[in-house]
Amino acid sequence: MTRHAKMIAAALLCGVLAWQGPLHAARPDAGNGTRQGPIHQLRVYEMVERNEDAFNRRFRDHALGIMRRHGFNVVAIWESRPASGPTEFVYLLQWPDRATKEKAWAAFMADEEWKAIKRESVRKLDGPIMGEILEDKTLELVDYSPQRDLLGTD
């Protein structure tokens, strides 16, 4: 992720936190060194300029619904348009734990509807629908983080 995109993602995440309302009390560790509570996943894709509209339609009209069906909690979605380089598509997911995240991603990637949609978009487009996955990072809130649950269910 470019420095510019990181700054924008951090600023936008702060905005999401501020928008969520009152702060929740942090939950302490379970006593075994593992943190309780949700984890977050930050994903950043490089956009292909000529196919940005097709990518956004596919994500909005298809991927989000399939993700929800497999238990994804999409907290926020952004685009970052750096002064130089391609547009970046950024989204933040919330998971109850790593095992749930891994299971949901495996189910999503194996989903026959999703596979068919990907094949169809490749068939219809001139070139790739997106560039590289620039970032796929799992984030664990520290036990003293003021807002443990970005969806407000904590």
How many Å from the N-terminal Cα to the C-terminal Cα in the chain? Answer: 30
Class of domain 38-140: alpha beta
Q: Give the residue, 125 or 92, on which the prediction is more confident.
A: 92
How many Cβ atoms are within 10 Å of 88's Cβ, its own excluded? 23
Alpha carbon distance 53, 149 (integer Å)? 32
* 140 pLDDT tier (thresholds 50, 70, 90): very high
pLDDT tens-digit map of 98-126 = 999 999 999 999 999 999 999 998 888 87
User: In this predicted structure, what is the pLDDT of residue 34?
Assistant: 53
Mean pLDDT of the chain: 80
The amino acid sitting at 77 is I
147 has a pLDDT exceeding 80: no
Alpha carbon distance 73, 127 (integer Å)? 30
Alpha carbon distance 154, 149 (integer Å)? 5
User: In this predicted structure, what is the pLDDT of residue 113?
Assistant: 97
Percent of the chain with pLDDT over 90: 58
Q: Give the residue, 30 or 91, on which the prediction is more confident.
A: 91
